[in-house]
Structure 1
Amino acid sequence: MNETTERVFESYDIQKLLTLLPHRYPFLLVDRIVEARADEYGVGVKNVTVNEPHFQGHFPGRPVMPGVLLIEAMAQTAGALCVASQQETGAPSVVYLMTIDKAKFRKPVVPGDQVRFHMTRTAKRRNMWWFRGEARVDGALVCEAEVSAMLVRE
């Protein structure tokens, strides 16, 4: 493979994400994947809007996106990369989150922010993947974690 081929990235719009992930509103937390290099690396995008249901209670008058949803969006980004990389092998797969490690929340995410989830595969064994993720708003680190997932054919 030459260097030019190795640097080519794919992107997945919302229609493609709906074929890769079983999640639907209000729990589909990734609007697009703007960079995908197989299951090695990807960048998911979430446009945070005030009309999302969790902002009614988290927190009234001072909306902050829950940290667990940032982690879930990281996992969804990684899961979409895994499923897309396996599509040629047969039936669609379901991705199950297995672990969350080293999660850190640096800054609050609020309506109007665009969060970019940078996910890098750190290991892969059979039907299991491990990723390190960083969530960034305007380039600033807001959250980081390591997640692992398992693909199951159903």
Structure 2
Amino acid sequence: MRPEVFKMVDRVVAIDPGLETIHCEGLVPHESSIFEGHFPGHPIMPGVLLIEAMAQTTGWLVLARNRFDKMPFLATVKEAKLRTFVVPGQMLDLHSRILHEGSGFVVAQTKALIEGKPVCNAELVFRVLPWPEGRMKDVVLKVAERVEFPLADFADA
């Protein structure tokens, strides 16, 4: 996990064959610039970055569902609950389940756990759009390799 550059998922653990759920992992780093001000002497991962980690997890699932044909963009965060502090060195288990898909939107239920205990959950809504001009798709495909995303199974790239 490199939160200072918004790379929040370290590994795609599993995507179910029906493309309804995904499980990813992200190790909260021991050292990161985000902890310099959040908080001195008591470093905790900002809640917004927990939500970003859950959003990226869902993003990988949406990419699998559309075979990397379109890109998901986070549009809405509903009913987010931050349940406890996340500190450096902890491993996040990130889970997402698709609730609804249609009309260019995807709704998902997401959660982050540490050692089986919930630390954050939310319902997230994504707008799914054509890839922006430029090399963004190529960059995402390279990141897919880094996080062990099973490209051969889910990408026509």
Q: Is the TM value for this pair above 0.5?
A: yes
User: 2: CA distance between counterparts of 1:127 and 1:80?
Assistant: 16
Residue 92 of structure 1 deviates from its aligned partner by: 4.1
2:25 matched to 1:32? no
Q: Is the 8 A contact 2:27 2:89 kept in 1?
A: yes
Over the aligned positions, Cα root-mean-square deviation in angstroms equals 2.0
Q: Deviations over 1:59-103 (max 9, x none)?
A: 11111000000001111110111112212xxx7422210110110
Q: Which residue of 1 aligns with 2:27?
A: 47
Which structure 1 segments of 5+ residues have no match?
Answer: 1-13, 15-22
Q: Which residue of 2 aligns with 1:77?
A: 57
User: 2: CA distance between counterparts of 1:24 and 1:110?
Assistant: 13
Residue 24 of structure 1 deviates from its aligned partner by: 9.2
SS in structure 1 of the partner of residue 7 of structure 2: coil
Percent sequence identity is 36
More displaced, 30-39 or 139-148?
30-39
Which structure 2 segments of 5+ residues have no match?
Answer: 132-157
SS in structure 2 of the partner of residue 45 of structure 1: strand
2:94 matched to 1:114? no
Q: Deviations over 1:93-145 (max 9, x none)?
A: 22210110110111100011000111111111142111111110001110110
- The count of residues paired between Structure 1 and Structure 2 equals 130
TM-score by length of 1: 0.78
TM-score by length of 2: 0.76
Q: Which residue of 1 aligns with 2:45?
A: 65
User: 1: CA distance between counterparts of 2:115 and 2:92?
Assistant: 8
Mapping for residues 90-105 of structure 1, pairs under 5 Å: 92-105=69-82
User: 2: CA distance between counterparts of 1:126 and 1:34?
Assistant: 29
Residue 25 of structure 1 deviates from its aligned partner by: 6.2
Tell me the amino acid that sits aligned with residue 93 of structure 1.
Answer: K
Tell me the amino acid that sits aligned with residue 9 of structure 2.
Answer: V
